[in-house]
Amino acid sequence: MAEEKRGTVYLEGKLIGYVKSGKALAEEIRKNRRAGILSGEINVLYIKRLNEVHINADRGRARKPYIIVEGGKSRLTPELIERLKTKEVDFNYLIRHGVIEYLDADEEENAYAALNENEITNKTTHLEIDPASMLGLTMNISVFPEYNSIGRHPVTSNFLKQSQGLYSVNFNRRYDPRSFILYYPQMPIVNSLAYRALNMKMHPTGQNLIVATSTYYGYNMKDAIILNKAAVDRGLGRSVFYRSYTDEERRYPGSQQDHFRIPSPTTDGYLGEHAYAKLSEDGIVEGEMDLKEADVIVGKVSPPRFLEEQTGFGVGEEKNRDNSVTVRGGEEGVVDSVMLSETTGATRIAKIRTRSIKIPEVGDKFASRHGQKGVIALIVDQNDMPFTKDGIVPDLLLNPHSLPSRMTFGHMLETLGAKAGSLKATQFDGTPFGTHGKDCVDKYGKILEEYGFDKFGNETMYDGRTGRKFDAQVFTGVIYYQRLWHMVSLKLQVRSRGPVQILTRQPTEGRPRRGGLKFGEMERDALVGHGASLLLKERMLDQSDKAEIWVCNDCGDVGYYDYIKNTPVCQTCGGKSLEMVEISYAFKLLLDEVKSLHILPRIKMKSE
């Protein structure tokens, strides 16, 4: 049947018609696109199995450039490369002249791309511009990824995104909700093509540390690391933490609006005179003011949440409630900058940036560019650190056990390369798929030997505490380390007493609310399983929502204590004989809810 053989044509997913040969149509579109007759933004896919042609020209398609290969020959000829070098032609020229084209996810299905020029066969349709272009931005910025285990690459990319450094040069004028700036950022000694091309040295993410692959009295077990105290004092990993607060004078229906001002003592929810002490007359903090937890940054009064009843003849001051912004729980700092502006809605807006210095401390997280993360477990005095025969004291001690199981050979290669680079005062290239491992080791080894070091980076080391020489040599070198923004000072949480929820009277949840940790169902079952009945009662009642209620002896309903008449009262039956019972407040709530189902739960008591 001839009808079945005709090709179906879809434009941006919609059926627009039929052609005699779908393959011919696809080829013609490609030919015209390469010739510049059709827009270069058009992509076409031919599905042989279904004899369908899909043409896409809509926005939002991720596309990637490829060099076109025709008849087993790359269209990017040596002559063109020469002209590129002399800047006679540019990238856009190549696109216009059908040397390079962009493929989308659909058209890639029809392509057969070679990684390198020498891999081109007769079947090849395209050539990768660079083998590293199969990787994303973050992996292209990292070095030697091809020597690492595949599972480390996503970890590496994530760590790069979490690193502190110089994310923006105008950080001083920005009001990001939170940001970190490294005091002394450095550019890595071993870097990649993409790193240089993107001028990433303007946005460094870490520092080159001297790392010895050594244990230290068991303090760097698992993923713990040891830092040299002298190095920390010299500014290793030192950073500043900016936190911005925003507040706005919102307008409400009924010509009411918020006001920035120091609230008067009659305001609802007034925090007390001392809390507003750091505000200036306009209700906003002064610059360079020291701030402690729960200090008011912006004093703001808002109109009442609900419309109030009209009292008297409308005289008397309108009731207001305090709606001030305070420093977040567990944080402190100095007012770095205050900005007052206006929104598009013609309301005033205040932005306040606070700053605090974060010196590396026990519990802060560091990572190399190879997915090797670690948490500081100990900061050791320089004189107690191991040192090499030349008297070099490492900045960081990495446990050697973190290397074999993770198979991050790139980590070791970078250590060796950066060590050689720092000796020779040069940078080395670690572009993905741009190097040959053995050549690198040979090259670095030669340089190291030139400067009197072991060619494999091993060093004779002495224990800083005892002065004794270590039996084994220690692999030591320089490697780029990043400080990640997971820091204890922003996470530490503790509670012995604290706020409770209004509804249930149970302890609050979460760090900003000074909350406790949940004692859940499984934890409860563990105590039941142990038969620890009193400990269980203490957790579930005494340290939680213990309440004393009065229960009527006659009707069994909940009553209350009348402090004026000094007697308990039952509102249900009017009885005066009530008993005080200790129960969980949540149970009282449950009784109330059951009552809302028109069921009266009665409590019958028995003395024990």
Contact residues for another protein, defined by CB under 8 A: 524-526, 528-534, 536-537, 540-541, 546, 582-584, 586-587, 590, 594, 597-600
Closest approach of another protein to the CB of residue 362, in Å: 34
> What six digits make up the tokens of 194?
């993409």
User: Smaller CB distance to another protein: residue 490 or 603?
Assistant: 603
Angle ∠(27,30,33) on CA atoms, nearest 5: 150
Question: Distance between CA 562 and CA 442 in Å, rounded?
Answer: 90
Q: Is the dihedral of CA 146, 151, 154, 155 positive or negative?
A: negative
Question: Distance between CA 363 and CA 493 in Å, rounded?
Answer: 13
Question: Hey, is 249 helix, strand or coil?
Answer: coil
Q: Point out the residues that are catalytic.
A: 223
Exposed/middle/buried for 130, CB within 10 Å: 0-12, 13-18, 19+? middle
Residue entry with tokens 């070095």: 143
> What six digits make up the tokens of 87?
């800047």
User: Smaller CB distance to another protein: residue 173 or 524?
Assistant: 524
Question: Distance between CA 184 and CA 21 in Å, rounded?
Answer: 64
Helix, strand, coil tally for the chain in percent (to 5): 25, 30, 45
Exposed/middle/buried for 478, CB within 10 Å: 0-12, 13-18, 19+? buried
Name, in order, each residue with C-beta under 8 angstroms of 554's C-beta and a sequence gap of 6 or more.
570, 573, 575, 577
Question: Hey, is 382 helix, strand or coil?
Answer: helix
Report which DSSP code applies to 512: G
Q: By the 8 A CB rule, do 506 and 584 touch?
A: no
Question: Hey, is 401 helix, strand or coil?
Answer: helix
How many Cα atoms sit within 13 Å of 126 on the Cβ side?
21
User: Smaller CB distance to another protein: residue 376 or 549?
Assistant: 549
Q: Max CA-CA distance within the chain?
A: 106
Dihedrals phi, psi of 269, to nearest 5 degrees: 75, 25
> What six digits make up the tokens of 182?
């490294």
Q: Computed over its alpha carbons, how large is the radius of gyration of the chain?
A: 35
